Chains A and B, each alone.
Chain A
Amino acid sequence: MRKAELVMALVMGLFSAYLMWKSAELPIGWIPEEGPGGGAFPFWLATGMLVCCLWIIARWFKRSSTVAASTDQYMDAATLRLFLLVAGALTVMIGLIHIVGVYVSIPLFMVFYMRYMGGHHWLPTGVIAVMTPIVAFFFFEISLRITLPKGMTEPLFYPLYDIFF
């Protein structure tokens, strides 16, 4: 927990410094007749972020906050494995949307999650994995008219477009 607290404060501190530098691309001072420059608002807020990170680090050394004084483990091996599995599966699913579209990547993700992670039988897994994209299609594409990304599967939907639009 202590190590994680320090690492997070350091990473966020670096991020704050980056934000300050990035904000300073626009004027951060007072422009006569125009008011504060475009970068002033984010610059001073990012400075505030940095101060908060330094404050958190100072307390880490003094062990004066509950987290900084905690001896609990940040993530045990089982939690880490679960976290990596879920976050990894999400990353793969979103990545696949670019290539094969939502109507392939969503069922794949759902099958992986329900069958492999949840240990459900093939029947409920299959029904939900097939129904979810169908419901999504009718809700988003038909009733809300929002085209979801389809990647290389786009041509397969042309006959459906002809029916509904």
Chain B
Amino acid sequence: MEVFDHLMQGFAIALQPLNLGLVIFGCALGLFIGAMPGLGSVNGVAILLPMTFLVPPTGAIIFLAAIYYGAMYGGAISSIMLGIPGASTAVATTFDGRPMALQGLADKALITAATASFIGGTISVVLFTLFAPPLAAVALAFGSAEEFALMMLAFATFIGLGGDDIPKTLFSIFIGLVFSAVGLDIISGQPRLVFGDIPGFLHGINFLVLAIGIYGIGEMLWTIESSKGDVKISQATVTVRRIIDDLRTLKDTFKSIVMGSILGYFVGILPAAGATPGSLMAYGVAKTISKHPETFGKGNPEGVAAPESANNAASTGSMLPMLTLGIPGSPTTAILLGGMVIWGLEPGPMLFIEHQEFVWGLIASLYVANVFSLLINVGFIPVFIWVLRLPFTILAPIIFVLCIVGGYAPTQDMHDVWLILIFGVVGYLMRKLEYPLAPAVLAIVLGPLAETSMRQALLISNGSFMVFFERPISGPIMAAAIVLFLLPIIKLVKDKFRTRAAGN
């Protein structure tokens, strides 16, 4: 049991007073950052990274990993209580979490999210501990064709399983991808799509700008309209008895949680994907395997459990290639990787040999972070419900201000704030016409990766698109994506035949 010995050594490091304190502080801060619309784990980690130079490298990375974890829990809080994802990773949680809160089941949704996050986190950390070397070898075999195929699969889930209007869904994917191409061309370095020669477009359109615009400003405008200035406040009572009852009914969602954990973990490992597509895919799969798929989107606890277990599992999964191969599995781990290089901890296979204490201390801290995130999250549920009880005319301006200031913080450019306003207003007007907007947000996140992997693959194949179908791993993924793309068309044709047959 060499692994067990290493893990025990790791706990000895993670439970040192300073490191333990950093884990608890990081989890609490992460929960808050995750819950704030506009600030996600990636902002929190990026912004706080310079401040961690106050503590030793092991403590610093443990602190940042705890923020990452806490933010994954916290994202669900605003998804459920406000209907605004606290981070892109919690987009899928709004689909059922918000309807549950509106039905007065906010406490149940929050408990489901917290427990699913905890189970997802724990399952994935155990997987991480046991199977790190062989799984890293699988991810290593992925080339650009496979990355691109995987992203096609993510988009295809929107078409095949989204259930929204097809041309509008496609439009949403395309516009997100085009916005992701704004800025400097990744290969030639030439400026591209710099509208009106405004210099603000040179650094591209950050996905957060679109996300805050759509899910912050746009969502608020939507809520103001649907409530005519005063939101219907859901009654949510939290007592120990209710929490116990909520926990008891959780076993119904157990299948979704385990599925989400495993799916999320594996999606998280892949360098191109991460917690956002992982949670969206888990939602799609949970809906497909459910006996009552029609209740999804209307407040099914499984629709909260699946993405929440998946995003926590994916955040652990994304650390695996970062630590073992030096390839970040998500934007947040990319920043962690940058920090590790500064601290002289060069990630890669050698890290496990040269800095054993650091690696196992970090892994053990993930177990600890999981426990504390759960405790803080559940312990503070009354605080989150108090937020919902605030009159909407007080909450709305505070959220608007958070969106504006939170949108300014990452790039510190007023240009982005104006874009947030434009995206918010246009997004709201489009949403009224039933344009789904989540695909655009996913597309702008995946866009740069999709373009790079496609161009690399095409360069290797000398322009032949067959490269995506011929390779043993990308072939089946592409086939699955095509089936998903065609699913609604097949359904449409079938329905037409049926109505025609019925007419005759």
Contact = CB atoms under 8 A, between A and B. Distances in A.
Contacts of B51: 143, 145
B48 to A, nearest CB: 7
A35 B408 contact: no
Given A65-B165, A82-B229, A38 B190 contact: yes
B394 interface: yes
Contacts of B47: 144, 146
Given A19-B178, A42-B181, A42-B192, 4 more contacts: A12-B171, A26-B190, A90-B217, A94-B417
Interface string A121-165: 000100010001000100010011111110000000000000000
Contacts of B250: none
Contacts of A1: 433
Contact of B455 (A36, A110, A143): A36
Interface stretch (B107-115, B289-297, B336-344, B397-405): B397-405
Contact of A38 (B188, B400, B401, B425): B188
A30 interface: yes
B174 A26 contact: no
Contacts of B397: 109-110, 113-114
Contact of A106 (B401, B417, B459): B401
B409 A146 contact: yes
Contact of A49 (B178, B394, B455): B178
A145 to B, nearest CB: 7
Contacts of B451: 41
A8 B430 contact: yes
A84 to B, nearest CB: 10
A74 to B, nearest CB: 7
B170 A8 contact: no
19 contacts: A1-B433, A5-B433, A12-B175, A19-B193, A45-B177, A49-B171, A52-B170, A52-B171, A56-B167, A67-B434, A79-B225, A82-B229, A83-B225, A86-B224, A94-B417, A132-B401, A146-B412, A148-B408, A149-B408
B229 A53 contact: no
Contacts of A52: 167-168, 170-171, 174
Interface in A60-77: 65-67, 74-75
Nearest to A98: B414
Nearest to B186: A38
Contacts of A75: 432
B348 interface: no
Contact of B394 (A118, A145, A148): A118
A14 interface: no
B400 A35 contact: no
Interface of A: 1, 4-5, 8, 12, 19, 22-23, 25-26, 30, 34-39, 41-42, 45-46, 48-49, 52-53, 55-56, 59, 65-67, 74-75, 78-79, 82-83, 86-87, 90-91, 93-94, 97-98, 102, 106, 109-110, 113-114, 117-120, 124, 128, 132, 136, 140, 143-149
Nearest to A107: B401
Q: Which 10 A-B pairs have the closest CB atoms?
A: A118-B393, A38-B185, A35-B459, A52-B171, A113-B397, A42-B181, A55-B167, A48-B174, A49-B174, A52-B167
Nearest to A57: B167
Contacts of B394: 114, 118, 120, 124, 128
Q: By DSSP majority rule, is chain A's interface helix, strand, loop, or mixed?
A: helix
Given A41-B181, A118-B391, A136-B401, A23 B187 contact: no
A45 to B, nearest CB: 5
A144 B409 contact: yes
B396 interface: yes
Contacts of B220: 86
B375 to A, nearest CB: 23
Contacts of B433: 1, 4-5, 8, 67
B221 interface: yes
A98 to B, nearest CB: 7
Nearest to B403: A90
A91 B414 contact: no
A41 B228 CA distance: 42
Nearest to A91: B421
A136 B193 contact: no
A67 B425 CA distance: 19
Interface centre among A45, A67, A110 (most CB of B within 10 A): A45
B254 interface: no
A148 B405 contact: yes
B50 interface: yes
Contacts of B167: 52, 55-56, 59
Contacts of A79: 225, 228
Interface string B440-470: 0000000000010011101100010000000
A25 to B, nearest CB: 8
B168 A56 contact: yes
A99 B325 CA distance: 49
Interface centre among A37, A49, A109, A119 (most CB of B within 10 A): A49
B195 interface: yes
Contact of A23 (B170, B193, B393, B421): B193
Contacts of A147: 412
A74 B181 CA distance: 32
A144 B52 CA distance: 11
B459 A87 contact: no
B394 to A, nearest CB: 6
Contact of A35 (B174, B221, B455): B455
Contact of A140 (B170, B175, B409, B418): B409
B313 to A, nearest CB: 29
B429 interface: yes
Interface string B254-293: 0000000000000000000000000000000000000000
Given A38-B187, A117-B229, A128 B398 contact: yes
Nearest to B396: A113
Contact of A46 (B168, B178, B425): B178
Contacts of B217: 90
